[in-house]
Amino acid sequence: MKIDCGHYPLMGGFDELLEAPGKPRSGAGELCDFFAGLTPEELEARHRAVDAAIMAAGITFTVYSEAGNIDRTWPFDVVPRILSKAEWDRIEAGLKQRLKALNRFIDDLYHGQQIIRDGVFPAEVLADSKNFREACIGANPPFGVWAHICGTDLVRDGDGTVYVLEDNLRVPSGVSYMLENRQLMKRLFPELFARYDVLPVDDYTAQLYDMLASLSPRAGDRPEIAVLTPGVFNSAYFEHSYLAQQMGAHLVEGPDLVVLDDDCVYMKTIEGLTRLDVIYRRVDDEFIDPEAFRADSVLGVPGLMRAWKQGKVGIANAPGSGVADDKVVYAYVPQMICYYLDEEPILPNVPSYLCMHEADCEYVLANLDKLVVKPANESGGYGMLVGPKSTSDERARFADLIRANPRNYMAQPTLSLSTVPTLCEDAIEPRHVDLRPFILQSKDFYVTHGGLTRVALRRGSLVVNSSQGGGSKDTWIVQGVC
Amino acid sequence: MLARVGENLYWMARYLERAEDTARLINATTMMLMDMPRGASFGWEDLLRVVGLDEAFHTLYDEAGEMAVMSFLIQDERNPSSIFTCIRHARENTRTFREVLPRESWEWVNELYLYTSTHLGHALDRRTRFEVLTEIIRRRQAVVGLLAGTMSRDEGFQFMRLGRNMERADMTTRVLDVSYAINLPYQNSQYYDLVWMSVLHALSAHQMYRRYVGVHARGHKVLAFLLNDLKFPRSVRHCLHEIQFALDELPGVEPMRHLQGMLNRVDQADYRALAANGLHGFCDDIQARLADLNTVISQTYFRVAHPQKMAQSLFSLV
């Protein structure tokens, strides 16, 4: 089991490390040499060490299934994915531009809705939005920023173009795995880091802390910050506790908090109640306040919205930001960038067909076998139709779904996602990847150096979600490679 | 510190202490049984009584043979105090507050759990039992050492210290109470010394006893050592002092008031008289007081009963 560049079975699309068999891309040569130089036994030993380290660290995620919740260890692949600093600089600028426009958009929707009045964004899309929160109308979060943490999914097509696939603005997860992956690589392949200038990723939690602290309603050096988790049974609980630990913040559940008559939020501590300044919520906004939203929620805190609207507590992401995390709204982001910022989009969208437009809808229905169809408001890769891999029954079912509720569906051409060499059972083979960088915004911007590269471990699969057989890789932004 | 987190830390420490104490007890008992005459009445049934699980055992098993008792105490998930259940609980608790502990502590507790879940089967067999249980003790001690060496003496640390010593004091009185009852028939026999020595062994106290008290295990001296010695870390008095030091670092006065009564009781007891008569009542009393203290600790720190009222009193302080 060696990385032998000469016999690497390229899949025909864009490979992130190799231009052709035996021909590494600029900057990837050292990496390929290194892996080629390891004996199968050495590689196997390192691989086992990785598994043992992941097991010991308890880096897990939870998969919900009929048989109960299963705690799985995080599948990690040892071959890193490399991006040059020059390419990354452009991507980073594009990500900041995009989030800036999205935040202007959200703020506009909860105030004058100028973009609708100017005819750039259709009123009917907003009218059907599942994630527009009336309770947020007129709210003024600090800096006019609603989505403070964004996990944007990027993919690279066969011709090498990097597209934005979706903007995750509700409770994007994965950043802890990005940080853990780097730790693992440094521990297990230290000699590789001597050969490359890899930009560090460790800074993220300090940046996250600073961003959250900037939302504090009280002046002071050490605001009380908490990560609000649905609890230990949530699939991302590992990450919630990891981030709280790294920031020295509290990890709280809804029942740990209470809002009193003064509209401030308090934590129940061993000394009584302590005022809380900022909440990094990892609970969907529907559930955060049974007074304002779902009355049946036991994960939330009654009165939280009241406290937030009066500026007594900072919440990231602000309730209501999910309105821009919608696969139909996504299609309008390039127009938003022009409209709010008067700039050209740096990163292109994947061409999208919105079923709400009659012509698009007809095209989609006629080409279901070629397209990927997505519901507007699902995440985690659920409820999708991957046309080329679907059966005629599945296509018929989707056609009915689309006709019944065209606003809820959009479609995109099936991209031939780029690949990266991946250690499979008995060989190194190409596997499809995407990339999720994380962007922070409050009074400043911050973008992670790289992000989480997710890899579809099943041969030919395009689904990278960890809940559906995906794994991950360390992502390297490398200086001095052109 | 969040009330919920404080409570989880307290119980995490109790579970780990219980797992280690049970492992020590089983090791000591296994060793001692080899010294007893065949057909002696001390048996596995008595071990169940020591840990207070005889009734629970008999709802699940018929006969208290070695295999059944070992399986029940070591790996049976239906037994809330089995070594495996305790370690699993401790691990689950540790997960819920990874953010307040040094990072390695989760890894080490997790490794302790992984080791336990894969090796416990070998602890059933006498040949490998000692080795496996000793490794569990060693790994648990590593966690204690890690925390001692890397964790700030903050409230979280104090809650673990509380839990560890509450559990240990409870275990010491239990082992004493039941062992004494079992030993009664052997008063004046050649096994008398041996049985009291086994009590010391069960609490890992034999070496320190010999060093500071003497080579012969005399009833009243063993009692005074295990209940009232100031320096031995498993004596009830030492545990109570540890609890006192932990409470000193925590808010609230009620738990300290309860503790004081218990300290006086231990301090003023007549151990020579107790060795002859009344030990059971004495141990019962200490155990009841520990249970009371547990309730008071829970009410003081873990149940924020009337949020509105507490907040007002908090404001009046500012």
Q: Is residue A395 a part of any domain in this protein?
A: yes
**CB-based contact, B302 to chain A, within 8 Å:** yes
Q: How many domains does chain B have?
A: 2
- Pick from B4, B152, B162 the residue to mutate for testing the A interface (most A CBs within 10 Å): B4
What is the model's pLDDT at position A229?
93
pLDDT digit string, tens, across residues B227-250:
999 999 999 999 999 999 999 999
More confidently predicted of B312 and A440: A440
Query: In chain A, what residues touch B113 (CB-CB under 8 Å)?
Result: none
Query: In chain B, what residues touch A270 (CB-CB under 8 Å)?
Result: 1-3, 6, 155, 250-251, 301-302
**CB-based contact, A250 to chain B, within 8 Å:** yes
Which of A129-143, A204-218, B40-54 has the least mean pLDDT? B40-54
pLDDT band at B280 (very low <50, low <70, confident <90, very high): confident
Task: Judge whether residue A357 has pLDDT over 50.
Answer: yes
- B230 with B139, same domain: the answer is no
pLDDT band at A454 (very low <50, low <70, confident <90, very high): very high
Q: Is residue A432 a part of any domain in this protein?
A: no
Q: At what angle do helices B192-202 and B3-33 cross, to 10 degrees?
A: 150
- B135 with B170, same domain: the answer is no
Q: Which of B151, B171, B191 is the last residue in one of the domains?
A: B151
- B158 with B18, same domain: the answer is no
Task: Collect contacts of A67-70 with beta carbons under 8 A, ≥24 apart.
Answer: A69/A233
**Residue range(s) defining the domain that contains residue B219:** 152-303
**Residue range(s) defining the domain that contains residue A385:** 353-413
Mean pLDDT throughout A321-327? 91
What is the model's pLDDT at position B314?
36
Mean pLDDT throughout A66-70? 55
Q: Is residue B316 a part of any domain in this protein?
A: no
> How far is A349 from A94, CA to CA, in rounded Å?
11
What is the model's pLDDT at position B223?
92
Nearest to A56 among B96, B98, B107 (CB): B107
More confidently predicted of B97 and B223: B223
What is the model's pLDDT at position A463?
76
What is the model's pLDDT at position B133?
94
Whole-prediction pTM:
0.81
Q: Is residue A98 a part of any domain in this protein?
A: no
Q: Is residue A408 a part of any domain in this protein?
A: yes
> How far is B246 from A316, CA to CA, in rounded Å?
37
pLDDT band at A465 (very low <50, low <70, confident <90, very high): confident
Query: In chain A, what residues touch B302 (CB-CB under 8 Å)?
Result: 270
- In 3D, which of B85, B84, B105, B86 has the Cα closest to residue B94? B105
pLDDT digit string, tens, across residues B158-187:
999 999 999 999 999 988 887 777 766 666
Q: Is residue B176 a part of any domain in this protein?
A: yes
Q: Is residue A366 a part of any domain in this protein?
A: yes
Q: Is residue A476 a part of any domain in this protein?
A: no
CATH of the domain at A370: 3.30.1490.270
pLDDT digit string, tens, across residues A248-262:
899 999 999 999 999
ipTM of the assembly?
0.71
pLDDT digit string, tens, across residues A20-31:
888 888 888 888
Q: Which residues contact A343 (CB under 8 A, 6 or more apart)?
A: A97, A337
Sign of CA dihedral B263, B268, B270, B274: negative
Task: Judge whether residue B311 has pLDDT over 50.
Answer: no
Size of the A and B interface in Cβ pairs below 8 Å: 82
Give alpha helix (H) positions in B120-188: 126-150, 155-183
Q: How many domains does chain A have?
A: 1
**CB-based contact, B162 to chain A, within 8 Å:** no
In contact, A368 and A399? CB cutoff 8 Å: yes
Pair type for strands A272-275 and A265-269: antiparallel
What is the model's pLDDT at position B240?
97
- B144 with B158, same domain: the answer is no
Q: Is residue B130 a part of any domain in this protein?
A: yes
- B5 with B132, same domain: the answer is yes
- B1 with B147, same domain: the answer is yes
pLDDT band at B310 (very low <50, low <70, confident <90, very high): very low
Task: Judge whether residue A130 has pLDDT over 70.
Answer: yes
- B130 with B178, same domain: the answer is no
What is the model's pLDDT at position A363?
93
- B147 with B7, same domain: the answer is yes
- B296 with B220, same domain: the answer is yes
Q: Is residue A133 a part of any domain in this protein?
A: no
Residue entry with tokens 């690949």: A419
pLDDT digit string, tens, across residues A78-92:
899 999 999 999 999
What is the model's pLDDT at position B42?
60
Query: In chain B, what residues touch A260 (CB-CB under 8 Å)?
Result: 307-308, 311
Give alpha helix (H) positions in B2-125: 3-33, 44-50, 54-60, 66-74, 83-95, 103-119
Cross-chain residue pair B98–A245, CB shorter than 8 Å: yes
Mean per-residue pLDDT over chain A, rounded: 89
pLDDT digit string, tens, across residues B64-77:
888 999 999 999 99
Q: Which of B94, B118, B151 is the last residue in one of the domains?
A: B151
- B131 with B23, same domain: the answer is yes
Q: Which of B104, B124, B151 is the last residue in one of the domains?
A: B151
pLDDT band at A438 (very low <50, low <70, confident <90, very high): very high
Task: Judge whether residue A447 has pLDDT over 80.
Answer: yes
